Amino acid sequence: MKPGIIWIIFAVPALPLILFADTVVDALAFKTNRQIMVAQQIRARGISDAKVLSAMEQVPRHVFVPEDIRSQAYADHPLPIGEGQTISQPYIVALMTESLGLTGQEKVLEIGTGSGYQAAILSEIVESVITVEIKRKLFERSSRLLAEHGHKNVSPHYGDGYYGWPKRAPYDCIMITAAVDHIPPPLTQQLKEGGRLILPLGNPFSYQHLVLITKKAGSYTVRQITGVLFVPMTGHAMTIKEE
């Protein structure tokens, strides 16, 4: 060193830089996987609503998946999220969302928050989402994730979704993300005239039909969309099943 010059040497820790680099690489990898998911699993199967495609590409599905299986977040199948529940296959999430025919102005009630992913997708499209979860641990986890990732138009609630959420009724659309063998009467009562309700209808312990119900002049039209396999709706729905 030259005489008369004071040299100050700072030690720069390497670990935070490595962690930051890994985070960036992971984020880019997840984004690429998300784009592939939309192209190969969703668009290729006929989903064409630009709002739905954009939401599926923007929402980071991996953050709603348990860390130990996060590498499978964009795979073409459902995944376990604990408490005996699952996060639905990406295509089914897109199909149910598109089938509601959303314009962007709706207030939507979701029954079965689960991981929070479906609510996050809806929040990117509609004005407001009210979502109800019966499993306490899932409710707490999904509420935290939705808040952390900026989904401010989602209102999570803890309770039995069979009864809907009458305080915020009526709803333009209702989505049930668990299988039930009948349409819960409280939900049809909370649906607006002209409103739509989508659900997996049928034997909760076997295959079901994804069904779209439209309320018209006090009666209902029913359209079958496709065969599906969802976990059973619990709470009061299960009590009725046992009776």
* Among 52, 228, 65, CA closest to 126: 52
Task: Return d(Cα 114, Cα 88) in angstroms, integer.
Answer: 9
- Residue 17 confidence class, pLDDT cut points 50, 70, 90: very low
pTM of the model: 0.88
Mean pLDDT over the full length of the chain: 90
Indicate the helix (H) or strand (E) that contains 158: strand 154-158
Task: Return d(Cα 122, Cα 97) in angstroms, integer.
Answer: 7
Mean per-residue pLDDT, 210-239: 94
pLDDT at 159 over 80: yes
Which domains occur in the chain, in start order?
76-242 (3.40.50.150)
88 classed as catalytic: yes
Higher pLDDT, 7 or 161: 161
Contact between 176 and 200 (Cβ < 8 Å): yes
pLDDT at 16 over 80: no
Cα separations (Å) of 81 from 8, 117, 140? 51, 11, 13
- Residue 24 confidence class, pLDDT cut points 50, 70, 90: low
Q: Please report, as a single letter, which amino acid is at residue 142.
A: S
Contact between 180 and 199 (Cβ < 8 Å): yes
For the stretch 62-92, pLDDT in tens is: 999 999 999 999 999 999 999 999 999 999 9
Among 88, 115, 142, 155, the one annotated catalytic: 88
pLDDT at 175 over 80: yes
Higher pLDDT, 95 or 28: 95
The pLDDT of residue 8 is 42
